[in-house]
């Protein structure tokens, strides 16, 4: 019976060693696939950045040009700009005043 127990132990030890080797092999496979996926995603992100960079620079240049044109027009027509801003401010004040008066609750008197 002792020989039978030793045979079982040896068999279990061999199975455990085989499982350890299989786990090690699977870990290496997963590691290799993870590294491959990382480099693939990194490459795609770099390509997307390189594709978007010229468009972003172009957009910034256009925004700067439009801002400069608007500032130049405001300097050139200072009276019209001042009038337009004052009118917009007055309309905003009037709208705010009217809306704030409309949203006030009706006062309640103590005798009601």
Tens of pLDDT, residue by residue over 7-23, are 888 888 898 999 999 99
Question: Is the per-residue pLDDT at 38 higher than 60?
Answer: yes
Question: Is the per-residue pLDDT at 34 higher than 90?
Answer: no
98: confidence class by pLDDT, cuts 50, 70, 90? confident
Distance CA 72, CA 22 (A): 74
92: confidence class by pLDDT, cuts 50, 70, 90? very high
Residue 100 CA from chain centroid, whole number: 37
The encoded tokens of residue 76 equal 């050139």
Distance CA 74, CA 26 (A): 69
């Amino acid at each position: 019976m002792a020989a039978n127990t030793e045979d079982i132990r040896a068999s279990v030890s061999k199975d455990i060693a085989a499982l350890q080797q299989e786990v090690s092999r699977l870990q290496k496979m997963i590691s290799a696939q993870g590294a491959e996926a990382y480099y693939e995603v990194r490459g795609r992100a770099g390509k997307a950045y390189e594709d978007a960079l010229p468009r972003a620079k172009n957009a910034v240049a256009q925004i700067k040009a439009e801002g400069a044109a608007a500032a130049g027009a405001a300097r050139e027509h200072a009276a019209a700009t001042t009038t337009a801003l004052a009118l917009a401010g007055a309309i905003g004040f009037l709208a705010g005043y009217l809306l704030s008066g409309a949203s006030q609750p009706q006062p309640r008197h103590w005798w009601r």
